[in-house]
Amino acid sequence: MLEPSPIFAHGGDLNRAIADYTKAIEQSPANALAWRARGLAFRAKGDNAKAADDAAEAARLKPDMADAHLDLGLSLQGAGDASQALAEFDKAIELNPRDAHLLKARGDGYLALGDAERAIADFSSAIDLDAKMITAYIDRGAAYLGKSDWDLAIADFSRAIALDANQYAAYLDRGQAFGAKREREQAIADFTHAIRMRPEAPAAYRQRAFWRQASGDSQGAIDDYNHVIKLDPRDAEAFRGRGYAYLSRHENDAAIADLTAAIALNPNDALAYRFRGSAYAAKRDLRRADLDDAAALRLNPKVR
């Protein structure tokens, strides 16, 4: 009987895996494991629609296969049908209520729908069953982060890091929680650690730049925004952030250049207009300053 391991069994060749499992299905259409395995391969390729079809057939052929309902839920979630995905996670959990991975998957489903309380309940149940499930701590931390429960979020991210220090997401998210608490040094330290782990990812540079600027280190912020812009030359937020850093250093021409670039990339950025207006005012170009201030207020009357 074929086992549902399309990636490892085929050396990572998903197309060959799909072809082989298709042959197996043609030879034995009632083979639920073959349907499930081909669905896994389709999902690994990013084809959630076909993955959902195959998982649904596996679940029809073997209704007591909890993993088939899990696969169907994950595929539906990937296709954007979060509500129906939850129904499949429910079915999987009814079949196997003490499976931590099923509870964690449903928690992710609730989190995707913005139901943090139910998500936290499922993540907590998963952790009760498996105290070493790192992803459950990270995702529960993310749910707490969304609820502005900074200390609980930090505690979960710290548990994940204690279990495995190579958790990029935990450092990145814990840095955000520390930042929200205005614990800037800890935030910067976490973003620095995340950057060491993934120097090619812009998110930690962007976050560290913000808190470096907030701590008065405008040159450090500029250095970080330089990295972000090198990695993504169309990052409007990075141009705005670097422009503000230049503005804080009274380098008004450099600020205007960056803020103009930010506005070109995102014409609805009220803050970029506001900061550029300040740079023009510092240069005594009051006409352009007034125009930018008016544009900022038009886009967001709360911007001052």
User: 172-194 burial, b if ≥16 CB within 10 A, otherwise e?
Assistant: bbbbbbbbeeebbebbbbbbebb
CA distances from 43 to 11, 111, 214, 285 (A): 16, 21, 42, 57
Per-residue pLDDT for the chain (304 aa), expressed as one digit of tens each? 444 554 445 567 899 999 999 999 999 999 999 999 999 999 999 999 999 999 999 999 999 999 999 999 999 999 999 999 999 999 999 999 999 999 999 999 999 999 999 999 999 999 999 999 999 999 999 999 999 999 999 999 999 999 999 999 999 999 999 999 999 999 999 999 999 999 999 999 999 999 999 999 999 999 999 999 999 999 999 999 999 999 999 999 999 999 999 999 999 999 999 999 999 999 999 999 999 999 999 999 998 7
Contact 52, 79 (CB under 8 A): yes
Predicted TM-score of the model (pTM): 0.86
Alpha carbon distance 25, 36 (integer Å): 10
Could you count the other beta carbons within 10 Å of the beta carbon of residue 98? 11
The one-character DSSP state at 161 is H
CA distances from 239 to 282, 298, 300 (A): 19, 21, 19
Chain centre to alpha carbon of residue 268: 24
* Burial group, residue 9, by CB count within 10 angstroms (0-12, 13-18, 19+): middle
